[in-house]
Amino acid sequence: MKLRLLGLAFFLATLASAHHSLAATYLEKEVKLEGKILDLLLRNPHSFLQIEAPDENGVVQRWSLEWRSSGQLGQAGIKRDTLKVGDEVTITMSPSRTPGDHRGALKTLHRKSDGFGWGTNPGETIE
């Protein structure tokens, strides 16, 4: 019985340490990117959006953007078919603390084709 409890405690500690702090991983500055969606992965504890967009030097890169959990996104109306591969989007993000990492924490998203937006305050637009 003690061995099972010890195993359970180890498992829970491992899960807790695996979930990282966004503030420890990403800078507080805001970066704007314009590009095309390559992939969307809805999962817990964080979803990921992959886009192709130019970096600060104009070189097109694949960016991995960490997003909210699938449950939180579902409550906000984001489903698996809401965003499609090839959609042109403008996003704002907090970039990774690791230079040249091409990762970020997604803050806002705006789809150009129909004006769909996520993460904006009421009345706010992203241009």
- Strands (DSSP E) along the chain, which ranges? 31-41, 48-54, 60-66, 88-95, 103-111, 117-118
Q: What is the pLDDT of residues 94-119, one digit of tens each?
A: 999 998 899 999 999 999 999 999 98
pLDDT in tens, 48-70: 999 999 988 999 999 999 999 99
In the chain, domain spans: 22-118
The better pLDDT of the pair 1, 54 is held by: 54
CA-nearest of 91, 98, 90 to 26 is 98
* Assigned CATH topology for domain 22-118: OB fold (Dihydrolipoamide Acetyltransferase, E2P) (2.40.50)
Q: Report whether pLDDT(24) > 90.
A: no
- Average pLDDT over every residue of 67-90: 93
